């Protein structure tokens, strides 16, 4: 059992066709990433603070590549971040964020090469563009370890009304233009849950900062008593339940906060479509 919503974050619907294609054509699939807990530990404390078993799962990442550091810094600066993480706030947390990003790239490059060696044939690596831009991420690390040839393909949105856009030649080997997404296909919930020993109920790990729950009445530490009258003691099961809902749906949370019970109606309200509004 993959426990998808514990080990991954995005709606399974984004990946379902890939899994069906692989299954129907008997194409082996390999997971490349490391457990989140290990990456979080690297972000907070550094690779050298890992246990010996954890170090076996994640090779020590190289954090000395200046071009990659500048790229990741630029990506974070252009991303919508909480107010406290902007400007000087980003300076304070960037080293940890960069360690985590480098660890992701390092372990995925390592596991990709291990998987290729096991299969002995060409391999396609599917990852987020941030791990591939300018051939500085997974692709660079895999090449440096193996000297195997590779090509990088990135998808770039072409704004509505335009037939083409200009991109930097060094962005990737191939750039595939796709239609601009006017609104996400699947809603992003934005809620993170934690599980505590001796407590059956799930707990909100943090106040939501994105997704449809961003402006709803959720706070860090809220105990989830029920969702639509159903009790959940497993994070994956609750995430699977929430993933079944679509735009314009509603879900009722019953929460416990400061010894007071309250209800929060979470609305799956579609974001304003691009090109509309002021």
Distance CA 276, CA 215 (A): 21
Check if the beta carbon of residue 219 is closer than 8 Å to that of residue 228: no
Check if the beta carbon of residue 211 is closer than 8 Å to that of residue 188: yes
User: Which position has the token pair 């500085």?
Assistant: 136
Range 181-199 average pLDDT: 91
Check if the beta carbon of residue 47 is closer than 8 Å to that of residue 61: yes
Does an H or E element contain 265, and which?
A: strand 260-267
Q: What is the pLDDT of residues 95-109, one digit of tens each?
A: 999 999 999 999 999
Range 217-241 average pLDDT: 96
- Banded pLDDT at 9 (limits 50, 70, 90): confident
Q: Distances from the Cα of 122 to the Cαs of 113, 151, 214, in angstroms?
A: 11, 12, 42
- Under 8 Å CB-to-CB from 101, ≥6 apart: which residues? 72, 130
Q: What is the pLDDT of residues 144-180, one digit of tens each?
A: 999 999 999 999 999 988 988 999 999 999 999 999 8
Range 171-196 average pLDDT: 92
C-alpha torsion 161→162→163→165, nearest 10: -160
CA 181 to chain centre: 18
Check if the beta carbon of residue 175 is closer than 8 Å to that of residue 165: no
- Banded pLDDT at 8 (limits 50, 70, 90): confident
* 230 DSSP assignment: B
pTM, 2 dp: 0.81
- Banded pLDDT at 182 (limits 50, 70, 90): confident
Does an H or E element contain 39, and which?
A: helix 36-45
List phi, psi (to 5°) of 191: -100, 135
The confidence score (pLDDT) of residue 258 equals 96
Distance CA 144, CA 147 (A): 6
Burial of 240 (0-12, 13-18, 19+ CB in 10 A): middle
Range 217-242 average pLDDT: 96
**Domains of the chain by start residue, with CATH:** 31-179 (no CATH), 193-267 (2.30.42.10)
Distance CA 195, CA 216 (A): 22
Q: What is the pLDDT of residues 230-247, one digit of tens each?
A: 999 999 999 999 999 999
User: 260-267 and 193-194: which strand pairing?
Assistant: unpaired
């Amino acid at each position: 059992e993959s426990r998808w919503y514990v080990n991954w974050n995005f709606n399974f619907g984004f990946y379902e066709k890939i899994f069906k294609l692989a299954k129907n054509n008997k194409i082996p699939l390999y997971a490349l990433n490391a457990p989140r807990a290990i990456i979080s530990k690297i972000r907070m404390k550094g690779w050298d603070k890992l246990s010996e078993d954890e170090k076996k799962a994640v090779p020590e990442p190289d954090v000395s590549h200046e071009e990659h550091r500048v790229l990741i810094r630029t990506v974070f600066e252009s991303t919508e971040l909480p107010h406290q993480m902007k400007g000087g706030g980003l300076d304070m947390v960037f080293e940890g964020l960069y360690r985590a990003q480098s660890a992701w790239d390092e372990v995925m490059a390592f596991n990709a090469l291990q998987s290729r060696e096991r299969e002995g044939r060409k391999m396609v690596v599917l990852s987020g563009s941030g791990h591939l831009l300018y051939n500085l991420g997974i692709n660079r690390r895999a090449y440096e370890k193996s000297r195997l040839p590779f090509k990088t393909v990135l998808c770039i949105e072409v704004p509505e009304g335009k037939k083409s856009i200009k991109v930097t030649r060094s962005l990737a080997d191939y750039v595939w233009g796709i239609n601009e997404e006017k609104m996400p296909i699947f809603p992003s919930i934005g809620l993170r849950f934690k599980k505590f020993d001796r407590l059956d109920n799930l707990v909100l790990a943090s106040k939501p900062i994105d997704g449809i729950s961003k402006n709803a009445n959720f706070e860090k530490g809220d105990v989830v008593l029920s969702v639509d009258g159903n009790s959940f003691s497993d994070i994956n099961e609750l995430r699977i339940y929430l993933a079944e809902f679509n735009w314009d749906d509603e879900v009722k949370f019953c929460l416990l906060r400061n010894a007071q019970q309250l209800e929060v109606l979470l609305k799956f309200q579609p974001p304003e479509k691009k090109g509309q509004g002021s």
